[in-house]
Structures are given as C-alpha cells and as structure tokens.
Amino acid sequence: MRITLDNGYDMLEKAYKSHLLKNSATVDPSYFLKHDMSPRVNDIKIMTEEDQVIKIGVWLLKQPRIPNNFLSYYSEIRGAQILKNIKNIAEAQKTLQVASRSKLSTVRKPIQRLDKNDILTDIESCFVMCSSLLILFELEEKLMVKAIPDTSKRAQVFRELVSRPLAYVVLQTQKVVNEKDVGIIPLLPLLHLLSQNYARFHNLATNSIGDVQFDSLMRQLQVKCSSYVNEVIENLNEDTTKYVPPDGNVHPTTASTLNFLSSLTAHRVTVTQHVLALTAPQGSNTNLLLPKLFARILSALGSMLKKKANIYDDPTLATIFLLNNYNYIAKTLADEQDGLLPAITEMNSNILSFYHEEIATCTNEYLKSWNGISSVLKSVERIGEDKQMARQIMSTFVREFDQVLAQQTDYCISDPKMSSNVQTAVKNRIEKNYFHLLDICQRLHVFPQGIKYTENAFEMAIRNLFSSAKIN
C-alpha cells in the first residue's frame, strides 16, 4: 500500500514537472522595452496554462510526504525560465538599438564611434534587464500565491528561484559598470532605477540562496559616477587643448558642460543622495550639494573660456567668442525646460545677472572695434560746403568700413536675437553721422559716379555682420 502511494506521488510530481516545462512561457520582449511598464504588466503571460500546476501543487502540499520534490522542480524550472526570458529581453534590446542606429546612419553621418555606441547599448541593456527582472519576479510571486499557498514553503522556493536570474543580472551589470567607460550621463537612469528599488533588490539578494553581490554593485556604480563628476571639473581646470572655433562661435565644451548640468538636474535626487553625498563632509546640507557643484563647474568653465579666448590672435574675435559662450550659458540657464536656474540660484541668486553683465561688457568691448569709424564721422558737422573735405571723409569712411567688414567677415554670433541686438548697437553708433555725410555728398555732387555705400548698401552690410554660420 505504501509503495503504491509513493508511486502515485512520483507520478503526480512527474506530471507537475511536465506541466511546468510545457506551460512556462517565453514572454514577448516588446512588453519590456518600454519605459512605462505599469499599464501593460497584466498583459504579460508567464504561464500558458496554470490550472493543472496549481491543482497538483496545492494537493501535494496537503500530503504528509517529505521531501516535496515538486517544489524543487518549481524553483528550478521557473528560475531557469526567468533567466531565459531575461536573456531574450536583453538580446531584443540590443537588436532594437542596433537597428535604430543603422536607421540613423542612413540619414546622417554617425557622430559617435562604434565602440561607444556598443557601450551605450550595453548600459541600456543592463537597465532593461534590471527593470524587467523586477517585473518578472512580481508576476512570479502572484503566480506562486496560487501555486504554493503555504507561506513558509513559498518563501523558500522563491529564495531558490530568484538566485540564478538575479545573480546573472547583477554580474552582467557589474561587468558593464566596471569595464566600460562612457561617462556619468548614460549611467544615471540605471543608478536611479537601482536606488529607487534598492530595498527590493537588497532583500532579494540577501534572501537568495546564492551569493548575489547587489550591494557591491551599488557601491561600484556610485563610486564610478562620483569619479565622473570629479573628472568633469578636473578636465575643465586642466584643459590645455588649443582648439577654438575659428568664427568665435560657442565652444563644444560649453555645450557639453551645460548638457551635463541639465542631465544632473533631471536626476537631482539620485545624484544628490547617491553620488554627491558619498564625498560630502559630515553634516553638509544635502539640499545644497548640487547647487554647490554647479557653481564649481560654471566657475571652472568660465576660467577655461577666458584661457581659450587668449588663444585668438584677433582680440575682437576673442570678445565675440566670449560673448557667444556667455550668451549660450545665460540662455540655457534661463530655459525653464532644463530646470537649471532654480537649482543654481539656491546657491547664487544673481547668477543670471552676472552673465547678462558679462554679455554687456563683451558687447561694449566689441563696439570699440568701430571706434575708428566713429571718429572719422565726427568731422561731418564741420564740412559745410567744403567738397574736398566731404570727399576726404567719405573716402576715409569707405576705406575704414571695408577694413572692418573684411576683418569681421568670418565672425559669427550664433544666436539670431543677440546678433540682431549687436547689429543694432553698431548701426546706432555710426548710422546717424554716416547718413548725414551721405546727404552732404549727394547734395554737393561730390561723387558723380556714385557712392559705394548707399543707405540700402550700408544697411545690408550691417545686416550681414556675424552671418558666417548662424545657428537658429
């Protein structure tokens, strides 16, 4: 009788295992490649048919037989299925990224090296694996409530089940974090995800039967992000490259630095609590950690720009360079979408006024390049009826005007509004006296063959200032 009962148990357990293997579903990766998963979680099926697994498991749990081999089958088969699904999702993510990159390369030249794109793909893959793992575990727990109603046995099975997929994801993420060098920005979404779900991951790793180094991963990720932040400041302070835009446009480092600040702002809580707090002195006001960092970075950027300006042989072009960069910084700070200004003004409420003052100083410094022409035109009031004097002043003006235009032909002010403002300032400085000179020369018929700079020609010349490479 006992042997018959044991044989019956064995048959049921084999049937249980068979149903598990047959009905464990390979999930559709597309569900997991969206950043907002919550509305679609209930659409994901991790078992094609769960009724038989539940019925057999519930009945077997009520029997006095020990050990319960079917529970080992559950943890082994379901754990392996989760691992398989995670690998499939990661592979689908990489395929999607490669396809997207290939599509972009058909419409524009690639701006990043292939190896950097591969690193970004690896980081995105880690993000998707971590977020997907939480979802798959959540779905598994819902199934287990029905399949293994006994709380203590369910907890033990879950500890065994999570071990392999969790260890795999943590190990793969550690490998990418430790071996890849891509900068802090691509790592911030991953750091945000792991920090937001720290308690969940920590408990899973601690309770798992395997040796899962999640806390080590978190520490490595935080330290690496912290080192990247320090590296940005060091690179600005120690920059010795000689490149400056030949037209005085915005330096690439200015744009990249402001993009960096915007990205940190988007992840302010994560950066403050999990990056900056690592090295902050004890007792520091954590609310000011990010504003203080921004102040240091902007100060270092300002020093770098002044050093870059000294590279120009043409001091007027150097002024245009500073004007462009200060204006770019001010506009970016004032952009509500980036959210930079509120963070920075917590440390320095006058930061925007400072840059506006710098812009005004640069504008006035640039206008000095027109002082020679202004001086020439000051003599207009003394012409009277003197044709010779009128001819001399007009000839001198044309020569000086041509020289300034030739010198500044490659100058660029990239912001159309700022360009227009400076053009207006130039126009206001010389237009009145020049038009007076033009009227006198026309009235006295000083140049019967015609004058080079009529009103229209003069205004066109002013409008063409700074137009070498405008960026809208």
What is d(CA 37, CA 130) in angstroms, rounded to the nearest whole number?
13
The pLDDT tens digits for 115-161 are 677 788 899 999 999 999 999 999 999 999 999 999 999 999 999 99
What is the value of pTM for the model shown?
0.83
pLDDT at 38 over 80: no
Cβ neighbors of 165 (< 8 A, separation 6 or more) are 79, 82, 83, 86, 133, 136
Summarize the confidence of residues 333-339 as an average pLDDT: 81
Both tokens of 61, joined, read 């749990």
Task: With cut-offs at 50, 70 and 90, classify the pLDDT of residue 11.
Answer: confident
Q: What's the confidence (pLDDT) of residue 112? A: 46
* CB environment 93-115: b (16+ within 10 A), e (fewer): bbebbeeebeeeeeeeeeeeeee
Give the tokens for residue 344: 């920075």
Alpha helical stretches, state H, 310-386: 315-334, 340-345, 351-367, 371-377
Q: How confident is the model at residue 99 (pLDDT cuts 50, 70, 90)?
A: confident
**Which of 138, 194, 193, 190 has the alpha carbon at shortest distance from 161?**
138
Is residue 298 within 8 A of residue 219, CB to CB? The reply is no
pLDDT category at 471 given cuts 50, 70, 90 is very low
Q: What CA–CA distance (Å, rounded) separates 430 from 426? A: 7
Q: Which residues pair with 24 in a beta bridge?
A: 47
Residues 118 and 97: their CA atoms lie apart, in Å, by: 9
pLDDT category at 449 given cuts 50, 70, 90 is confident
Residue given tokens 């990239």 in the structure block? 414
Q: Per-residue pLDDT tens for 193-248?
A: 999 999 999 999 999 988 899 999 999 999 999 999 999 999 999 999 999 999 99
Q: Count how many residues are written for the chain.
A: 472
Q: Residue 92 carries which side chain, given as an amino acid letter?
A: A
List the alpha helices (DSSP H) in 106-213.
114-147, 151-179, 188-196, 198-207
pLDDT at 97: 80
What's the mean pLDDT in 301-308? 96
Q: How confident is the model at residue 108 (pLDDT cuts 50, 70, 90)?
A: very low
pLDDT tens figures, 338-365: 778 888 888 788 999 999 999 999 999 9
**Average pLDDT over every residue of 400-425:** 95
In eight-state DSSP terms, residue 281 is: P
Mean pLDDT of 407-416: 94
Q: What pLDDT does 109 receive?
A: 46
Statement: residue 1 has pLDDT above 60:
no
From 8-22, 291-305, 444-458, the region with the lowest mean pLDDT = 8-22
Q: Give per-residue pLDDT as tens, 156-188.
A: 999 999 999 999 999 999 999 999 888 899 999
How far apart, in whole angstroms, are the C-alpha atoms of residue 186 and residue 309? 31
Domain boundaries, the chain: 2-182, 250-355, 369-463
The answer to whether residue 4 scores a pLDDT higher than 80 is no
pLDDT of residue 3: 55
Buried b / exposed e over 192-208, threshold 16 CB at 10 Å, is bbbbeeeeebeebbeeb
Compute the distance between CA of residue 456 and CA of residue 258 in angstroms, rounded to an integer: 40
**What residues have CB less than 8 Å from 361, skipping those under 6 apart?**
none
Cα–Cα distance for residue pair 461/467, rounded to 1 Å: 11
Residue 442's identity, in one-letter code, is Q
